[in-house]
Amino acid sequence: MHADLVAAPADRTAPTGSTPLGAHPAPGLRPTRTQRGPWLQLLTQVLHLAGPRAEFLRHAERPWASATFSGTRHTIALAFTGAAAQDDGEQFVEALPEHDFTIPGHLVADAALRGLDQDNTGEPRMELEIEVLLLDDL
């Protein structure tokens, strides 16, 4: 994870400390505590719903806004390998649209399957991609 960088006040020197992967902040910038958005809670709840045989592949987040609401759109990809895992994947797909997510300060407006690939040659594998619209709760 990376640290956000903000301009240091002109009358103070940037504090020393470690930065990720040996990177050094630019002169006049100091590391600050990284703020975690609701993505971590959302991802945790999605993985819990998907079950222990789900494999996390990736997550992407982008801002979203309409005339009356703002929030973020999250794309999450998961894989289910093996017959039992595929059953879990099918149950996950069925449960996702009606699942009640609990993320303080936010409301899940939509959670839907966006893509599904199945390969039943050899060990069965299902890869799926979901999209979740997370609104800021005013």
Ordered DSSP codes for 28-47: TEEEEPPPP-THHHHHHHHH
pLDDT at residue 3, as a whole number: 41
7 phi and psi angles, rounded to 5 deg: -65, 135
pTM of the model: 0.73
Query: Please, what are the domains in the chain?
Result: 1-35 (no CATH), 39-136 (3.30.2000.30)
pLDDT at position 23: 46
Q: Identify the CA nearest to 129 among candidates 80, 83, 63.
A: 80
Give the pLDDT score at 111: 97
Tokens 């982008």 correspond to 62
Residues in the chain: 138
Per-residue confidence in pLDDT tens, the chain, 138 aa: 444 433 334 343 334 444 444 444 455 555 444 556 799 999 999 999 999 999 999 999 999 999 999 999 999 999 999 999 999 999 999 999 999 999 999 999 999 999 999 999 999 999 999 999 999 986
Q: Where are the beta strands (DSSP E) in 1-138?
A: 4-7, 29-32, 54-65, 70-81, 106-119, 125-136
